[in-house]
């Protein structure tokens, strides 16, 4: 473990945690993310050359924060850090237990979150290798996941929720094809697909595979149908004519 945590944090973040007001919202957020274990993990990833310069958060979710970083070649990297103290590890455990890839799921909070992070990394690997439009996974250790940064000059591309597509018909087809390829080629179901988890780059890219599961999951058909219902709901709200979810479901299942 590095002896000087203050120096390490200075390299990871421009502002030192100790200088933030103890009662400020920023301090609370930073303290929940950068505990000593996470700092050590980031230190290992820096030593492995995964990234070198660490910037601020570009996204904050229920369980994790996503930060922007640069590697030694000057390429942007997205760094997703699951919060150990505040993540709903019981809910994570429930979803992990239904995934047939995980016969024995740990019960301790920290171990559940580490397994959850590892699963997301493996999901991205399988999807990327199958040619599904997803961020390219780079590395993973404990509660930290590094992947391709989708954006320009450190600014992420917009979510479909915030910037509706200019060509809804084309984007819907692309997303349906991606969902089909994910199921048939990568043997996965996204399980949380919606306008919140699509980036327009301008072509659509699926993100947030934390809930992605093997298609042999006993709940697989229900999760796939939910993904399709979310897509259809969103695009119909834009005025697009789309097939019914049941019809799309049948097309994906045929092989």
| 71: annotated active-site residue | no
3-class SS at 126? helix
Structure tokens that stand for 42 in this block: 């980031």
The beta-strand segments (E) located in 61-104 are 64-70, 76-82
* Side-chain half-sphere CA neighbours of 149 within 13 A: 25
Structure tokens that stand for 68 in this block: 């922007």
The single residue of 35, 71, 162, 192 carrying the catalytic annotation is 192
Other beta carbons within 10 Å of 76: 21
| 111: annotated active-site residue | no
Answer whether 46's CB lies under 8 Å from 52's CB.
yes
Residue 181 neighbours by CB under 8 Å, 6+ apart? 130, 131, 132
The single residue of 208, 214, 227, 244 carrying the catalytic annotation is 208
Answer whether 54's CB lies under 8 Å from 24's CB.
no
Distance, CA of 229 to CA of 231 (rounded, Å): 5
- Cα-Cα end-to-end distance for the chain: 51
Annotated catalytic sites, by residue? 192, 208
């Amino acid at each position: 473990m590095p002896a000087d945590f203050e120096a390490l944090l200075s390299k990871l973040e421009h502002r030192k945690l100790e200088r933030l007001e103890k009662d400020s919202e920023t301090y609370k957020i930073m303290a929940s993310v950068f505990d000593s274990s996470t700092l050590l993990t980031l230190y290992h990833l820096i030593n492995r050359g995964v990234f070198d310069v660490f910037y601020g958060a570009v996204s904050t979710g229920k369980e994790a924060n996503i930060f922007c970083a640069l590697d030694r070649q000057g390429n942007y990297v997205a760094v997703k850090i699951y919060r150990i103290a505040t993540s709903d590890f019981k809910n994570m455990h429930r979803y992990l237990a239904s995934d047939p890839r995980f016969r024995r799921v740990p019960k301790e909070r920290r171990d559940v979150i580490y397994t959850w992070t590892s699963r997301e990394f493996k999901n991205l690997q399988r999807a990327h290798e199958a040619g599904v439009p997803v961020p390219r996974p780079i590395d993973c250790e404990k509660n930290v996941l590094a992947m391709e940064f989708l954006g320009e000059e450190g600014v992420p591309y917009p979510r479909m929720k915030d910037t509706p597509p200019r060509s809804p018909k084309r984007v819907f087809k692309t997303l349906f094809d991606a969902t089909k390829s994910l199921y048939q080629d990568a043997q996965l179901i996204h399980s949380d697909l919606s306008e919140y988890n699509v980036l327009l780059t301008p072509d659509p890219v699926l993100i947030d595979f934390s809930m992605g599961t093997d298609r042999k999951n006993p709940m697989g058909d229900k999760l796939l149908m939910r993904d399709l219902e979310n897509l259809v709901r969103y695009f119909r709200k834009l005025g697009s004519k789309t097939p019914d979810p049941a019809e799309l479901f049948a097309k994906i299942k045929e092989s």
